[in-house]
Amino acid sequence: MARRKQTRGKCIFCGREMTRGGLARHLPACSKRQEAMEKAQQKPGQEQKLYHLQVQDAWWGDYWLHLEMRGSAKLADLDYYLRAIWLECCGHLSRFSVGGWQGTEIPKRRQIQQVFRPGVELTHIYDFGTSSKTLIKMVRGRTGKPLTSHPLMLLARNDPPEVVCMECGQPASWLCMECMYEFNEPGTLCDAHAQEHPHDNYGELRSLVNSPRVGMCGYDGPSEPPY
């Protein structure tokens, strides 16, 4: 199989662009992030345990997030965030487990600091029909004041994977579900070819947003972070 080009994304502190693994090494060492952490230390408030988590889709790993979460936050907070940025289509059930997606369920009321240690990987599953599976592991922990009042902070996410129009090879921004499911075609279309595309049995074309759930169930974005 041809080697896929790894997606890249930007460090929100310094703007440098790297792969998922590059950022896992960069973020703990980023000098702009160090400055932001020092500033946060001077503000009032309690120090606490903070967890740098790496989140990725369980399929190709093209879609990923680097997050810093409060140890006292709950898995429910992470579930909320994953639904908002990537997954929510029609309010399906979800669950966290350890030891693969068929492993032991971890209740959503559990705190991050009760669950994560180096080497622990959680699987999050959203929708038990057309499932989206996500893997979450700890990169490292630190003690300090959080940089945000939210339960977690987005440190980096992948740029949208490069997808080309199946008709002309130009960048695509639309997806035809009928092509995918009835004709086994990629179904990816540029703006021009989307305009003249004949299929409508699966409703309107879907927009190709930056989410691993594109083309699954009723998912139609917007794939924006809630904070």
Residue 201's identity, in one-letter code, is N
208 is a contact residue toward Zn ion (CB under 5 A) = no
**53, amino acid identity:** L
In sequence order, the β-bridge partners of residue 164 are: 171
Minimum CB distance to Zn ion smaller for 117 or for 191:
191
Distance CA 5, CA 161 (A): 9
Assess contact for 42 and 24: CB atoms under 8 A. Answer: no
For Zn ion, the closer CB: 60 or 183 = 183
Residue 84 is classified by DSSP as I
- The single residue among 121, 167, 207, 209 that binds Zn ion, judged by CB under 5 A, is 167
Quick one: tokens of 136?
């979450």
Say how far apart CA 164 and CA 172 lie, in whole Å: 5
Which of residues 168, 203, 222, 226 is near Zn ion by CB under 5 A? 168
Q: Under the criterion CB under 5 A, does residue 13 sit at the interface with Zn ion?
A: yes
**137-156 positions binding Zn ion, by CB under 5 A:** none
Question: Smaller CB distance to Zn ion: residue 67 or 176?
Answer: 176
Q: Is 195 in the site for Zn ion (CB under 5 A)?
A: no
Residue reference for tokens 């500033």: 39
The minimum distance between CB 198 and Zn ion, in angstroms, equals: 7
What are the residues binding Zn ion (CB under 5 A)? 11, 13-14, 30, 89-90, 165, 167-168, 170, 176, 178-179, 190, 193, 199, 217-218
